[in-house]
Structure 1
Amino acid sequence: MKTFAENILDFLFDLELPFKLPNKIEVLDAHKLPEVHAACKIFYEKFYTDHNERYLLIGINPGRFGGGVTGIPFTDPVRLQNDCGIENNFQKKQELSSVFIYDMINAYGGTQKFYSKFYISAVSPLGFVRAGKNLNYYDDKVLQQRIEPFVIDCMEKQIVFGIKRNICFCIGEGENFKYLKKLNEKHAWFDEIKALSHPRFVMQYKLKTKDLYIQQYIHAFARVTQA
C-alpha cells in the first residue's frame, strides 16, 4: 500500500492539462523542472511518509512566486528553507500568501504537527499566467469552462490518498468557494465545505488584523480535530 507521500508525488509528477488553453494563457507547471522535482520529493517524504488520513485545504491555483516556484502549495523558497528545514537554490523571494500560511502553521504548532493532519492542494493544481501575470482559473470564463473535467479528475484522484470526507476547507471565500461548492453539490465529495479568508486578501487589505484571521483558521481546525 502506497504512503500518502508516494500518492502525492505520483499525482504531481503526472499532471497534464487535457485541453487547449484559450486567450494567450500559459500553464505554470513547475513540477517538470528537476530542482522542483527534488524539492517536492524531500518535502512530501519528510511530512507524509505514513498512511494517516488528513483534512484537505484547497486553494485556487499556484502562483508565480509560491507553489509556481517550489511546486508545493503556499510554500515559497524562504518558507521551504526556514520553516520546513529544506535547503534549496531557488531565488529567495517571498510570496505574501506563503507568509500568512506559515505564520498560521507556526501558530498551530509547527510544520510537523500541521502536516500530520492537513494536506494542501488547489482546485487546479496547475497554475496559469497571461502577459506574465498570475491568472486565477475563474478569471477567464473559457478557461473556467474547459477546466472542469480536469478539476473533477484531480479531486477524485486526491481523495483516495486518505482525505477525510466530513469537511473540506476552501481557501478563499469568493469565487473559489462558489465554484467548489457547486461541484461538491454535484459530486458529493464532502459533507461540508468551510470557507476561510484568502491569505492574499488578508496580507493586502487586513494586515493589521492578520492575527485574527490566523485564529479564524485555527478555530476552524480545532472544531474538527478535537471533535
Structure 2
Amino acid sequence: MMTFANQILGFLKQLGFNKRLPKGIKILHPFHDETVMDLVQQFYQKYYNDTKQRKLVLGINPGRLGAGATGIPFTDPKRLRNVCNIHTDIQLHEPSSVFVYEVIEAFGGAEQFYNEIYISSVCPLGFVIEDEKGRVKNYNYYDSAKLTKTVQPFIVKSIKEQLEFGIERDQVFCMGTGKNYKFLNGLNKKEGFFKEVIPIEHPRYVMQYKMKQKERYIEKYISALRA
C-alpha cells in the first residue's frame, strides 16, 4: 500500500488546469516550481509517511503568501522554518498561517496534528488578478460565477482523488462559513463525498476581524476537530 505522503505527492505532481480562465484571471500553480516541490516533499514525507486514515480540512484555494509560496496549505515560510524545521530562504508572512499554527500548537503540536489531520483546499490551485494599479492580488474560485463554473469539474475530480488517500468520510471541515461553505455543502449534496460538512471560521476572518476573540476560535477549532 502506498503511504499517505506518496499519494499526496503523486496528486500534486500531476495537478494541472488547461481550461481557459475568465479575462484577467491567472492560475497560481506553485507545484510547477522545483523549490516549492522540494519543500512539499520534505514536509509530507516528514508528517505523512504512513498509511493512517485522517480527517480532512478544506480551505478555499492557495494564496500567494502561504501555499503559493511553500506548496503547503496555511503554512507560510516562517512557520515552515520555525515549527516544521524545514529550511527555506523565502521571507514571507501570512496571518492565516499564524492562526492555523496556534491551533496546531493547542492541538498538541505539528506531529500530533498532522498525524490526525490533512489540510487541503476546495480548489487545490489558486488564482490571482491585477488591480487597476498593477498590483497582483489573490482571487478566490468563488469570486466570479464564471470562474466557479469553469473550475467546478476540476474541483470535483480533485476531491475524489484525495478521498482515495485514506480520508475519513463522516465529516469534512470547511474553512469559511460563507461562500466556501455554501459552495462545498451544495457540491457535497450533489456528489455525496461526505455525510456532513462542518463549517469553521476561516483563519483570515479571525485574524482580520476577531483578533480579540482569537482564543475562542482556537478552542472552537480544537473542539470540532476532536469531536
TM-score relative to the length of structure 2: 0.97
Counterparts of 1:106-185 in structure 2, within 5 Å, are 106-131=105-130, 132-185=136-189
Q: CA deviation at 1:18?
A: 3.7
Q: The residue matched to 1:72 in structure 2 has which SS?
A: coil
- Amino acid across the alignment from 1:93: L
SS of the counterpart of 1:74? coil
Moved more, 157-166 or 22-31: 22-31
5 Å-filtered alignment, 1:34-113, equals 34-90=34-90, 92-113=91-112
How far the C-alpha of 1:10 sits from its partner, in A, is 0.6
How far 1:19 sits from its partner (Å)?
1.2
Equivalent position of 2:221 in the other structure: 217
Contact 1:18 1:150 in 2 (8 A): no
Moved more, 13-22 or 106-115: 13-22
Amino acid at match of 1:180: L
Cα offset, 1:88, TM superposition = 1.0
Residue 20 (str. 1) matches residue 5 (str. 2): no
User: In the TM superposition, what is the alpha-carbon distance from 1:84 to its structure 2 partner?
Assistant: 0.8
Structure 2: segments with no counterpart, 5+ residues: 131-135
- Is 1:205 the counterpart of 2:209? The answer is yes
SS in 2 for 1:137: coil
Cα displacement string for residues 143-181 of structure 1 (whole angstroms, at most 9, x for unaligned residues): 001111000000000000000001100010000000000
Gaps in structure 1 of 5+ consecutive residues: none
SS at match of 2:127: strand
1:195 partner SS? strand
**Does the 8 Å CA contact 1:66/1:75 hold for their aligned counterparts?**
yes
Which ranges of 4 or more aligned residues in structure 1 deviate by more than 6 Å? none
Question: Helix, strand or coil: the match of 2:142?
Answer: helix
- Give CA-to-partner distance per residue, 1:28-79, whole Å, 9 cap, x none: 1111111101000000000000000000000000101000000100000000
* 1:204 Cα deviation after fit: 0.4
Query: What percentage of residue pairs aligned between the two structures are identical?
Result: 47
CA distance in 2, matches of 1:147, 1:170: 18
Any idea what SS the aligned residue of 1:138 has? Answer: coil
Q: How many residues align?
A: 222
Q: Describe how 1:188-203 pairs up with structure 2 within 5 A.
A: 188-203=192-207
What is the distance in 2 between the residues matched to 1:79 and 1:13? 23
Q: Over the residues paired in the alignment, what is the CA RMSD in angstroms? A: 0.7
